[in-house]
Amino acid sequence: MSGADVVVQVLADEGCDVLFGYSGGAILPVYDAVFRYNAEHPRSNGREPMPLVVPANEQGAGFMASGYARASGKVGVAIVTSGPGATNLVTPIRDAMADSVPMVAITGQVPTSSLGSDAFQEAPVSNIMGACAKHVFLVTEPGRLEATLRTAFEIARSGRPGPVVVDIPKNVQNAKLRFDGAGRLPIPGYRQRLHAIEHARLDDDACARFFAALAQARRPLIYAGGGVIRGDAARALRAFVDAFGVPVTTTLMGLGGFDTTHPLSLHMLGMHGTAYANYAVDDCDCLLALGARFDDRVAGVPEKFAPRAKFIAQIDIDPAEIGKVKQVHWQHVGPLAAALERLTRYGKVHGAALQLDDWHAHITQLKRAHAMAYDHGSENIQPQAVIEALNRHARGRAIVSTGVGQHQMWAAQYFDFRAPRDWLTSGSMGTMGFGLPAAIGAQFARPDALVIDLDGDGSIRMNLGEMETVTTYGLPLKIVVLNNRGDGMVRQWQKLYFGHRFAATDKSLHRKDFIKAAEADGFDWARRLARKEDLEATVAEFLAHDGPAFLEIMIDPDAGVYPMVGPGASYGQMITGEFIASRASPAVTDKETTDMF
C-alpha cells in the first residue's frame, strides 16, 4: 500500500465512521486515499463508510472532531494540511487536552528532505503542539507509520483521554509500504504506568477506612467532575447514591454525570453554580471528589473551599490530580467506575448505613430557600426564560452545545441534563466559537438526536462560517443565538469590578444581520424573536421544524449571570443578585462538626 492508504486503513480498523478536515497540498495523498476507500467500500444504503466532512476552516474541523468525541465517547479524527492548516488546530487541540477529550489529529507535512528549510507551508508542528497535546508524533520513517497511527489511538483513548497529533511528511504518505494489519510502537513506560493505574483495585483496608469516615459524617457531599463522564462512571455513581443516599453536585464538565432532576442532585457548583449547591459545600462535613480536580472556577481559594469538611476523599484516573490543589485524607488512583462499584459492593456487604435524614431535609431547605430565579416581570426577554422554554419542549433530552460566555452559564444553570454526553462545552479553555462546530460533530455522532447549539452573538461570530456546513450536509441542527449586542460576560465583570468602564465591549460589532446570514447559508427556517409574548410558540415551532433551523432572540442586554463567586471570594461571599436569596452566615458552625472526626 501507499502510506496514505495505510493511514486510511488504520482509521477504518480503529472504527472511525466520520472524519473532519480541510485539504491542502501536503495532505492530498491521504485525501485521495479516503476518496478511493469510500468508492471501493460502499454500504448497502449507499452511504460512504467513512465520510470526510469539510468545514469552513481547520479550527472548525478540530472542534467538530471534539464534539463528535464528547457526544459519542469515541475518538474524534481531524485531518488537515501542513503549515496554517496545522496551526489552525492548536486551539482545538489545547481545548481537548484541557477537557480530557480523545482525539487524533493527522497533519500533513513537507517532505522529510525539506524539514527545517522554511519550505512552503512548513510549520514546526512537534514544537508547537508538544506543549498542548497529550503526545505528538513526527513520522520520518515510513515503515513506522502504521504502528505510529495505531499507537496514537491507543494513547488518545487510554488513561486520562486526550488529543494526539500525528505529523506525516508528504513523501511518507507516498511511500510504498507493507501493511501488517497489527502492531504498535514500543512505549513500555507509558504502558507500564497505564497498566498499574487501570488495574488498581481498592483492597478491604482502603474500603474500610473510607466507610469508617463516611459513617461518622452527618453531612456528606459528592463533588463529581468530568471524570464521571470520561470514565463512563455515571451508572456506578447512580448506584452508589441509591445505596447510601449521599447528595451530588457536579462541575460544569460533570453535568449529565448525575441526573440533575434527581431529588439528591444539587445541580452545578462553582463560580456560577447554584446558590444551594455552593452553600451545601460550605455546610458539608465530608466531601467525596470523584473525577474532579478542584479547579479555580470551583475551589477558588482552596483553603476556603469546603471549610468544614473534616474528611475529603478523592478518586481520579490521573495521579497528578491527587492533592494538587487541596490536600485530601483518602485517595485512590484508578478507573472511577470500578472504584465506585467496589465501594458500593463493600458497603452493602458490610451493612453500611448512613443516617442522613437531617442532611436531606437541610438540602431540601437550601434548594427551596435559595432557588434559581430571575426577573420574571421584565418587559424584555430574559435569557433564563428562553432556556426554560427550550428545556420544556426538549423534555431534557437534547444534546446541548454552547459557546463561551453568559449564555454558556445560563444553559448550564437552567437546562436539565439527565444523561452523560448531552452537554458539550469548552470548560477549562473557555473557547469562544466552540459551540457551532462542536454541535455539528455531535450531530454526526448521533444523527437521530435533537442537537441544539445555544450560542451568543459574540461567540458564534468566531466560527460563523460553519453555518454553511450545517446546510451543506443537511443536518437538522437547531441554532439559538441569544443576542445581547455585546460580550455580556466581560461587560458583567466590567460593571462589578471596573467601574462600568466598558473597554472594548462598548465597541462590539452591531451591524451583523444574523437572519440574512442564515438565509444566505441556506437556512429555510430563520427567525428573529423580539417579543416576550411570542417566546413559547416560536420555540415550539423552531424545535419542531424538520431540518436545520436558526433562531435569534433579542434578550435583555442587562441580564446578568447569578449566582457569582468573585475572584478571591469564598462561597459564603457569593453574589446572588437581585432575585436569588442569600444568607448572611453559614447555617452550620464549626462547633457542630468539631467532634465528628
CB atoms within 10 A of CB 353: 11
- Bridge-based pairing of strands 163-169 and 286-290 is unpaired
509 pLDDT above the threshold of 70: no
Give the residue ranges of DSSP H helices in 446-487. 457-461, 466-472
Asked if residue 89 lies in contact with residue 57, where contact means CB atoms within 8 angstroms, the answer is no
Determine the pLDDT at residue 589.
46
Which among 562, 386, 576, 548 is positioned nearest to 475, based on CA atoms? Answer: 548
Asked if residue 299 lies in contact with residue 251, where contact means CB atoms within 8 angstroms, the answer is no
Determine the pLDDT at residue 47.
87
Rounded CA-CA distance 215/226 in Å is 27
Rounded CA-CA distance 477/449 in Å is 9
Which among 452, 73, 65, 445 is positioned nearest to 234, based on CA atoms? Answer: 73
The C-alpha cell of 464 is what?
460563523
34 pLDDT above the threshold of 50: yes
- Bridge-based pairing of strands 19-22 and 76-80 is parallel
The C-alpha cell of 567 is what?
475572584
CA 159 to chain centre: 17
Question: Counting Cβ atoms within 10 Å, is residue 111 exposed (0-12), middle (13-18) or buried (19+)?
Answer: middle
* Stretch 490-517: mean pLDDT: 85
For the stretch 258-271, pLDDT in tens is: 999 999 999 999 99
CA dihedral of residues 417, 423, 429, 431 (deg, nearest 10)? -120
What is the DSSP annotation of 206-230? HHHHHHHHHHH-SSEEEEE-THHHH
Asked if residue 226 lies in contact with residue 335, where contact means CB atoms within 8 angstroms, the answer is no
Determine the pLDDT at residue 507.
63
For the stretch 517-563, pLDDT in tens is: 999 999 999 999 999 999 999 999 999 999 999 999 999 999 999 99
Per the prediction, the chain carries an average pLDDT of: 95
Residues identified as active-site: 58, 120-121, 170, 489
Rounded CA-CA distance 444/20 in Å is 10
List of domains in the chain: 3-187 (3.40.50.970), 200-366 (3.40.50.1220), 383-554 (3.40.50.970)
What separation, in Å, do the N-terminal and C-terminal C-alpha atoms of the chain show? 66
* Stretch 361-390: mean pLDDT: 97
Rounded CA-CA distance 39/23 in Å is 18
pLDDT band at 495 (very low <50, low <70, confident <90, very high): confident
Lowest mean pLDDT among 94-98, 183-187, 585-589: 585-589
364 pLDDT above the threshold of 80: yes
For the stretch 212-257, pLDDT in tens is: 999 999 999 999 999 999 999 999 999 999 999 999 999 999 999 9
pLDDT band at 485 (very low <50, low <70, confident <90, very high): confident
